[in-house]
Each structure stands twice: as C-alpha cells, then as structure tokens.
Amino acid sequence: MNDHKSRSQRFVALCLLGIFMFNYPVLALFNVSGTVFGVPVLYLYIFVAWAALIALMAWVAEPRGRDRL
Amino acid sequence: MLHDGVIIFTAFAYLGLLFAIAYFADKRADAGRPVIASPYVYSLSLAVYATAWTFYGSVGRAASDGVGFLPIYIGPTLMIALWWVVMRKILRISKQNRITSLADFIASRYGKSALLGGLVTVIAVIGILPYISLQLKAVSNSFTILVQYPEIIMPTRVDAAPMRQDTALWVAMILAAFTMAFGTRHLDAAEHHQGMVAAIAFESLVKLLAFLAVGVFVTFGIYDGFGDLFARAAAEPKLLAMMTPLGGVAGGYASWVWLTILSMTAIMFLPRQFQVAVIENVDEKHLSKAIWLFPLYMLAINVFVLPIAFGGLLTFGDGTQADSFILALPLRADAGFIAVNSTSTTSRPFVFVMFRYSTNGVTVTESSVAAQSASMVWSMFVESAGNLGASGSIQSGIAIAHNEADGANIHFELFGSDGKFIGGSSNIQIPGRWQTSMFLNQIPGLPPIPSSFRGVLRVWSDRNRFSRPGVSVTGLRGRYNERGEFLFTSTPAIAEVFATTSSELLFPHFAIGGGYETEFVLFSDNGSSGTVYFFDQNGNPLSLGLQ
C-alpha cells in the first residue's frame, strides 16, 4: 500500500504547513492595519489561508481515479 | 416582541423534532438501513464540537479581542490533518477491542487497568461539569433574552420581567430524558447510538444555518456588506485596534499558540468528541470526507463571528453584553430623532409622527409625537408607580434630541407634586447630534425615585449660554396593562424659554423595528418646501426603509 504511505506523508506535510501559516512570524506579517476588499488584512489572511488548507486536505483525502482505498 | 408561549412552543416543537429524528434513525437501524452510514452524517456529528455556547462565547471573545478566538477552531483543523495517520489507528484499535469510551480506550492501552479507567472517568465527569452548566446557562439565557427583549426601546434595558421559572432545570431534565431514551437504553456496548448521532448531525445543520442567517442579516441587512461594516468599525479607535490584535489586546502570540495547542488536544480528547469520532464511527472510509468537511464546517460557522461582534459593538456601544449579541442584534430596533428643515420660517408645514408598537402581530399601542423647536428649559409631568413590568405599573420617560454640531451640557431637576425640590443631577455632557430616551429612574444623578411618585421633571440645557438653541424634549409614558402588554403614549413637555428663532423642528423620538413602526405625517396649507433628516441616537444619518 504505497499510496497510503505517501498520503500519510502529505497529511503530515499539510499539518506542518498549517502550523507554519498560523503562527509567528507569518501571522505578524499580516497583523497590520488596513483592509483588502474592505476586509481587515489579518482577518482576510486567516480565512483565506484556512480555506486553502482545507482545500488541500480535501484534495489529498478524497480518493481519486485509480488510487481508491 | 415574542410571547413566552410562542417561544416555549417553538422550543418544544424543536425538541420534539429531535426526538422524532432520533426515534426514526433507531427504527431504521433496527430495520437494517442505518441513516448514519454516510460520511456526511459522520462529518456533521463531529460538529458537536461547536456547542450551544459557541453562539455566545465566540462572539463574546471576538468582541474583546478580535480574531483571538479563532485558534479554538484552527487548532482542530491542524489536528485533523493528522487524522489520516492517527485516527485510523485509533479506529482500528477501538473496533478490535470493542472500546466503549475514552476511559475504556486509555485503560486498555495500559494493560486493561480498571483503576486507570476509573480515574479517567472520574476526571472526565469532574471536568465536564462546568461545561454542562455553561451549556445550560446558554440555553436559559437565550430564553430570557427572547422573552424580555425589546419591549422597551430605552438604552439600558430595565430588568423588568419577573423572575421566570428556572429554564435550565427543565432543559436538564429533557436532556436527561433524551439520553436515557437514545443513549443508555441500549445494553450492547458495541452497538452504535444511531438515533443520538442522527439528532446531533441534524442539530449541527441547524446551528450552522442559524449562525449564517444571523451573520448574513447583520452584514448585509443592518450594514451594507463586509466593506461597510469594517469601514464603520475602523472609524472607532477601539475597534480598529481589534483588527490587529496580535501582540496587543489578544495577549500576544503566546496565547494564540497555547490556545491552538489546547484546541488540538480538545478535538482528540474531549469525551464527547471521542464518542462521535471513534465509538460512533461505522466505517473508517468516512474519514476521507470528514477530514475536510468538518474543518470546512468550522470555517463556515466562524466567518460571521467578527462581523456580528463588530456590529454588536457598533450598535450597543460597549461589550458588556457581547455574549448575547447574536440574539440581541437581530432583535434590536432603531431609535433616533427626525429633523425637519423648512425653507421659510413663516410657512412651516404642520408635522407630527405617529408610532405604534405591536407584539405577536397585534398592535397594542399607538401614540404621536409633535414636532418641537429647540428650547433651553423644559418641564414635564412625570409619574412612577410600581415596578415597571408588573401589571399596572407606570413609568414616565423622556426623549431628548440635540441637533447642533456642537455638544452641550444638560442637567435635570426633579420636583414633587407639591413643588418641593427633590434633587438634581450634575451637568451631563452630551455630544453634538444626539438623541436618547430613558425612563425616569434611569436618569443619571437623580435621587432614587419612590415607587409611587408624581411630580415635575425639568431639563436645562446650557443655561449659561442663552445664544444656543438648546434641545428638544418630549415626554413618554409607559405602562404595562393587565395582559402584560407594554403601552405607551407621548406626554407634552413645555418649553419654558424659547431659544433664538430657528426654522428647524425636531421630533425628539421615533422607533422602528422590534415591533415598533413610525408613521410620519406632514401637511401644509399654503405650500412650503424643506428637508427631512433622520438621525440615529448618535446623530449618524439613518437609512430607513421608507414607504
């Protein structure tokens, strides 16, 4: 089950990515005043990054094509 | 606004629906067609993580430190990324060993130690107690807010409604009945609690929809979208600071990180989380959907938390009741004043407004407010009888509007019916373009009003600066009738000293929403033109649905 192993690795990588994105110093980059599309920068960043992380998790989790469970 | 009966009926109808869903799911399971054998139901049931307190706690926290509440939901997202590795293992071990609870799981990992299992159980029970009480408080609070809310459009709500019976007790008993019927009734520990899980999944759906509905209403109904809401919030220095809270009000990055770690463990080790994620899991394959659907759920339920918090802070001014913004905001009503500027001073139009109040679709009271020129000194008859809220109770109120760009000082004096001076307030600074309405017993600085009182209230504005046009005042008088309905009428306030002539007429009070409706009447005998302005209590122009 080589596929399972690589999927596990991808998930661990996503977790690390998430920890990186939602932590100092990356958060500090966005902890600035000002708005983008009328939404405060930090608020927008957190939700966009969060949504992106979830999208990646969905991409890795969902069985696609040949590599079904 | 809503009658107790309606609220209680709705609550019971909802509980009845949950019971019905659970019963139906149990029956389906017995018939061999389980409803919970779906990755979507599994994902929704995981959302038991967001409890009744989420509605209050998240908004309450957001109202004090902006995004500081988000780690509670981001932490689990990070942990769930590891579920593919961790949770599958836990699921397999639990299935093999027919694990029935978190305590059971931990005990079996350490050589089936009964002592350890007992210890974990005791810790879980003690740890869960404050949690449960918080949930019950959330439910009983909701009930109180719904029952009491905006009968009276006055800035500080009078705690008038008599102490209700303890709702929390009844809720606890109903929940216990539910647990017995759909939880502990099954003797076979390995069997899934299909009915309970189905009910939880349904509830999660309701929670999400309710949160989104309020969020959309606040963001796009009360305000003009995210941009408008955040722009208004940014105008207030305190709220602006909350937009970049890290390193500031939220207690820095350390508390952010700790909250993340805490929440990462919570999603794994909260007993209820273990129950739905592990014990009630029917198929390991459901993980691949739940791994992204559940984080998506958490994201969706949080999108509007900050807008609701900001909307609440903008509307109610401070965060003292921030926990209940999510209920209070949709129920709130607009109040303010109206200014009519006529182009000529000789032919002013005749104008007055009528406002009415309805509860449960029945109009119970209607009254008119006449337009007033501003004046320096006003006096009006006031009365107070009984505790407002009790049947037959009466309380006079006052509405004051000030339509000058500059602020002013006002102060109040109270006289008994015999003309004797009872007490006065010190100078109260009011900002320019401002309106307030309050009951007699809410006027700051006045001596306590006896429960039975008749007398005269006098309002002075800037008495040392007679060149100023002053304020406009009208009396309001509220009464609870024998059916417990709130009736009001406007009472005249007499201007003692007229200010310099101004073509401007002010309506010191109007109210819209929360059962209130205001009708604006304007007529003239010889034709005149002018402008009508609507202001909220802070003097900001109000955009209203005019008909």
Q: Is residue A68 situated within a structural domain?
A: no
Residue of B nearest to A25 (CA): B253
CB contact under 8 A, B227 and A37: yes
pLDDT of residue A56: 93
Does ipTM top 0.95? no
Domain end residue (candidates: B300, B331, B362): B331
In this complex, how many residue pairs, one in chain A and one in chain B, have their CB atoms less than 8 Å apart?
117
What's the pLDDT at B160? 37
d(C-alpha B324, C-alpha B312), whole Å: 9
Please indicate, yes or no, whether residues B33 and B161 belong to a single structural domain of this protein: yes
Q: How far is B100 from chain A (nearest CA, A)?
A: 27
CATH at B408: 2.60.290.11
Tell if the CB–CB gap between A57 and B81 is shorter than 8 Å. Answer: yes
Contact B90, B82 (CB under 8 A): no
Does some domain include residue A67? no
The pLDDT assigned to B351 comes to 67
| Predicted pLDDT at A50 | 93
> Looking at the structure, do residues B391 and B470 belong to the same domain, yes or no?
yes
Our count of domains for chain B comes to 2
Shared domain check, B54 and B94: yes
Q: Does a structural domain hold residue B547?
A: no
In angstroms, how far is the first alpha carbon of chain B from the final one? 22
Return the SS3 of B12.
Answer: helix
Q: How far apart are CA A11 and CA B298, in angstroms?
A: 19
Residues B226 and B346 reside in one and the same domain: no
Please indicate, yes or no, whether residues B232 and B381 belong to a single structural domain of this protein: no
DSSP B201-253: HHHHHHHHHHHHHHHHIIIIIISSHHHHHHHHHHTSHHHHHHHS-TTTTT-HH
Question: Does residue B545 belong to any structural domain of this protein?
Answer: no
Count of C-beta atoms within a 10 Å radius of residue B135: 18
Task: Kindly report, residue by residue over A8-60, the tens digit of the pLDDT.
Answer: 888 899 999 989 988 878 888 888 777 788 888 888 999 999 999 999 999 98
User: What is the reported pLDDT for B169?
Assistant: 76
User: Is B137 part of any domain?
Assistant: yes
> Cα dihedral sign for A16, A18, A22, A27?
positive
Nearest to B66 by CA among A10, A3, A42: A42
Candidates A8, A27, A54; nearest CB to B253: A27
Tell me the pLDDT tens digit for each residue of B190-205: 567 888 888 889 989 9
| Secondary structure of residue B545 in the 3-state scheme | coil
Residue among B80, B82, B287 minimizing CB distance to A12: B82
What's the pLDDT score for residue B124? 86
Instruction: Output DSSP code: residue B541.
Output: B
Residue for token digits 């009328």?
A38
Enclosing domain of residue B412 = 334-536
Say yes or no: B360 and B412 in one domain.
yes
Cβ of B291 and A58 within 8 Å? Answer: yes
Bridge partners (DSSP) listed for residue B358: B363
Whole-model pTM: value is 0.68
Q: Which of B331, B366, B383 is the last residue of a domain?
A: B331
- B293 shares its domain with B370: no
- How far is the C-alpha of B23 from the C-alpha of B31, rounded, in Å? 12
Out of B78, B80, B243, whose CB is closest to A40?
A: B243
pLDDT under 50 in chain B at which residues? 1, 150-164, 249-250, 463, 499-501
Q: Name the band, by pLDDT with cuts 50, 70 and 90, for residue A69.
A: very low
Q: Give yes or no: residues B430 and B408 share one domain.
A: yes
Distance from CA of A66 to the nearest CA of B (A): 16
Run of H or E including B399: strand B394-402
| Residue range of the domain that includes A37 | 2-61
Instruction: State the residue for tokens 């009001």.
Output: B488
d(CA B328, CA B150): 9
Looking at B288, B303, B331, which one is the last position of a domain? B331
Q: Which amino acid is at B353?
A: V
Would you state the pLDDT for residue B544?
A: 59
Given A37, A46, A69, which is nearest B285 (Cβ)? A69
Measured CB to CB, residues of chain B less than 8 Å from chain A are 66-67, 70-71, 74, 77-85, 225-228, 230-231, 234, 240, 243-247, 253, 256-257, 260, 285, 287-289, 291-292, 295-296, 299, 303, 306
Regarding whether B255 and B121 lie in a shared domain, the answer is yes
Structure token pair of residue B1: 């606004």
The pLDDT of residue B217 = 85
- The SS3 call for residue B366 is strand
Confidence (pLDDT) at B163: 44
Predicted local distance difference test score (pLDDT) of residue B503 = 55
One domain, residues B31 and B95: yes
- Name the minimum distance, in Å, from the CA of B263 to any CA of chain A: 13
Q: Which residues of A touch B67 (CB under 8 A)?
A: 42-43, 46
Same domain assignment for residues B318 and B367: no
B275, B365: one domain:
no
Residue A46 has its nearest CB partner, among B70, B231, B240, at B70
Q: How many residues does chain A have?
A: 69
Return the sign of the alpha-carbon dihedral for residues B269, B273, B276, B281. negative
Q: Report if residue A43 sits inside a domain.
A: yes
Chain A from 44 to 63: CB within 8 A of any B CB: 46-47, 50-51, 53-55, 57-58, 60-63
pLDDT at B498: 56
DSSP string, A4-68: HHHHHHHHHHHHHHHHHHTSTTHHHHH--S-EETTEEHHHHHHHHHHHHHHHHHHHHHS--TT--
Q: Into how many domains does chain A fold?
A: 1
